Amino acid sequence: MKIGIFDSGIGGLTVFREISKRLPSFELIYLGDTARLPYGIKSKKTVNKYSDNNVRFLKSLGCEIIVIACNTASSYSTDLLKRKYKFPIFDVLSAGVAASLESEAKRIGVIGTSSTIESNTYQRTLKKRKKSIKIIAKACPMLVPIIEQGLAKENYSKIIIKNNLALLKKSKVEALILGCTHYPLIKNEIKKFLGPRVILVDSAEEISKSLFKYLKTNHPKEFTKYKKKRRIYVTDKSSYFERASKKIFKNIEVEIKLVDIK
């Protein structure tokens, strides 16, 4: 059984890595829409179009389950994709919301791209599930570029991280949803600033758990001792993407192929 995972760039590789660890006997195909990134500053109409193109491409390769490994696409396009396609679609936003509510936190912070926060989908979904919680949502548009460029440990990046998270610290959030798939890559820096008591909700971990549960119930025979293939497709192949994915996958060899999708 093939599972298709997509994001705009390297962020979704954190989701791909978690799913890969948990589901070795499933074939995984990742699509990074690197030619059209960033999604986080684009309109709903454009993100919907890109998300639809991505699913169509993954479907053409035989994927029977789709994972939206991008919070911006999850915020804008999940409903549309679920209406249009008949197969199961998992999205990082639902996984993050469920995990943050399980934490029993009463003050929940959400950080994400400008489009994710502006879409109001996290805020709406959290409130719908639990009226009494206090939500503090903050767009952190500068975090993606510093992560993409591998600059998170620089001194000036520390100032950016501090600036972006100051409101969350001041608001005394008990749990923080990392509402962008890039953010788990700077989990340590975020933890350092907010302190050890704040629970960081990493949707990569959460979505791989719910996918595992779903597959155990619905496709138990697919769990075998054989390791299946992993493939990565990108719409723009740069040396930067190869370096970044090698960093994420450490010693695992994954072939990266260039595709043109419309």
Kindly state whether residue 71 participates in binding ligand DGL, applying the rule CB under 6 A. yes
Distance (Å, whole) CA 147 – CA 162: 15
Q: Whose Cβ is closer to ligand DGL: residue 8's or residue 20's?
A: 8
Kindly state whether residue 54 participates in binding ligand DGL, applying the rule CB under 6 A. no
* E runs forming strands in the chain: 2-7, 27-32, 65-68, 89-91, 107-112, 134-139, 175-179, 199-202, 230-234, 256-258
Q: Whose Cβ is closer to ligand DGL: residue 54's or residue 71's?
A: 71
Kindly state whether residue 181 participates in binding ligand DGL, applying the rule CB under 6 A. yes
Kindly state whether residue 8 participates in binding ligand DGL, applying the rule CB under 6 A. yes
**Tokens representing residue 127 in the block:** 């409130």
Kindly state whether residue 40 participates in binding ligand DGL, applying the rule CB under 6 A. yes
Q: Looking at 49-57, 66-74, 227-235, 238-246, which segment touches ligand DGL (CB under 6 A)?
A: 66-74
Beta-sheet pairing, 230-234 with 256-258: parallel
Sole residue written with tokens 């704040």: 198
CB 12, CB 69: distance < 8 Å: yes
Considering only 51, 113, 164, 208, the residue that binds ligand DGL (CB under 6 A) is: 113
Q: Looking at 38-46, 77-85, 98-106, 243-251, which segment touches ligand DGL (CB under 6 A)?
A: 38-46
Kindly state whether residue 6 participates in binding ligand DGL, applying the rule CB under 6 A. no
Q: Whose Cβ is closer to ligand DGL: residue 15's or residue 194's?
A: 15
Angle at 207 between CA 140 and CA 237, to 5 degrees: 65
- Comparing every residue's Cβ against ligand DGL, the nearest one is 40
Angle at 109 between CA 181 and CA 5, to 5 degrees: 20
Binding-site string for ligand DGL from residue 130 to residue 169, where x marks contact by CB under 6 A and - marks none = --------------x-------------------------
Q: Please count the residues of this chain forming the interface with ligand DGL, following the rule CB under 6 A.
A: 17
CB 126, CB 94: distance < 8 Å: no
In the window 191-250, what residues touch ligand DGL (CB under 6 A)?
Answer: none
DSSP character at residue 12: T
- Please state the closest distance from residue 183 (CB atom) to ligand DGL, in A: 8
**Tokens representing residue 184 in the block:** 């788990």
Tell which residue, 15, 65, 29, 10, has the closest CA to residue 259. 29
Distance (Å, whole) CA 240 – CA 233: 14
Kindly list the catalytic residues. 70, 180
- Please state the closest distance from residue 218 (CB atom) to ligand DGL, in A: 26
Contact footprint for ligand DGL (CB under 6 A): 7-9, 11, 37-40, 70-72, 113, 116, 144, 180-182
